[in-house]
Structure 1
Amino acid sequence: MTPPGDDLSIRCPKLGHQIFFSYCLHENNKLPCFKILDCWHTYFQAEKYLKDTLTQSDWEAAFETPRKPKILRVCHNIIVTY
C-alpha cells in the first residue's frame, strides 16, 4: 500500500491550510498527527498503512495515549519558547 505523494494536499483542520500526508506522518514529535486517520481515510487505507509501518509503541503513543488538554499544550509551548 502506497500513501499519497506530495502531489495531493488536503486542508488540515488543525492548522487551517493545505498540507501533504508526509507532513501529517511526522507532525507530532516525529509521530503521526492524532487526526491523520480522520483526515486521510477517504483517500487511502490510512489505518492499515500506519499499522503496517509503525511500531506497536509508536501506534500507542500516537493514537491510544490520552492527549493533554489544549490549554496545557499551549502553555507548555509558550514556556518552552520563552
Structure 2
Amino acid sequence: MTRTRDHLQRRCPRLGGPVGFSYCRTMGDNGLPCWKVFDCWWEMFDVVAYFKGRLDDETFEKIATARPKPKVTSILEIVEQAQKRVAQDRVTKPEAIQEHRFDHDVHERENISED
C-alpha cells in the first residue's frame, strides 16, 4: 500500500491561500509538480524521497532544477490562455457572448443617463 500525502495542506506562497499537496504535485508545467514543491513541503515530510520513489530520474531532475518563469512571461501566458478561452467561447457559446454584450450595453446606457 502506498501512503498518500494528498490530504496534507499548507499555505501556498504563490497563490496566497491553503492548498493540498495533491494540487502542488500536479499543477506545475505539463502536469508535473510545482517548481516550489521541495521548498514548501520539506518541513512536513521527506518530499525528496517521495518524488524520487515516484518519478524517473530525468523527471525528478527537471523538477529539482526548475526555476520560475519571469513575471512578464507568466502574465503574457495568462493573457494568451484567456484569449484562447474567449475565442473558444465565441465558437461554443455564442449566446453567452451576446448576453454579455447586452448586459454591457445596458450598463453603458445607464451610466450615460446618470450623467
1:33-52 map, 5 Å: 33-52=34-53
- Structure 2 unmatched runs, 5+: 84-115
Cα drift, residue 10 of structure 1: 0.6
What TM-score, normalized by structure 2, do the two folds share?
Answer: 0.61
Q: What is the alpha-carbon root mean square deviation over aligned residues?
A: 1.8
Larger deviation, residues 64-73 vs 24-33: 64-73
Change (3 A) 1:45 1:12: same
Larger of the two Rg values belongs to structure: 2
Deviation at 1:66, TM superposition (A): 4.5
Correspondence list, 1:9-48, <5 A: 9-28=9-28, 29-48=30-49
How far does the alpha carbon of each residue in 1:43-74 deviate from its partner, in whole angstroms, 9 at most, with x for none? 11001111111122322332324443121121
Number of residue equivalences:
81
In terms of mean alpha carbon deviation, does 27-36 or 60-69 score higher?
60-69
> How high is the sequence identity, in percent, across the aligned residues?
32
CA distance in 1, matches of 2:45, 2:69: 29
- Please tell me whether the aligned partners of residues 3 and 21 of structure 1 are also in contact (alpha carbons under 8 angstroms): no
More helix by share: 2
Amino acid at match of 1:37: F
* TM score, norm. by length of structure 1: 0.82
| Structure 1 gap ranges (5+) | none
Q: Which residue of 2 aligns with 1:55?
A: 56
Q: Which structure has the higher relative contact order (CA within 8 Å, separation 6+)?
A: 1
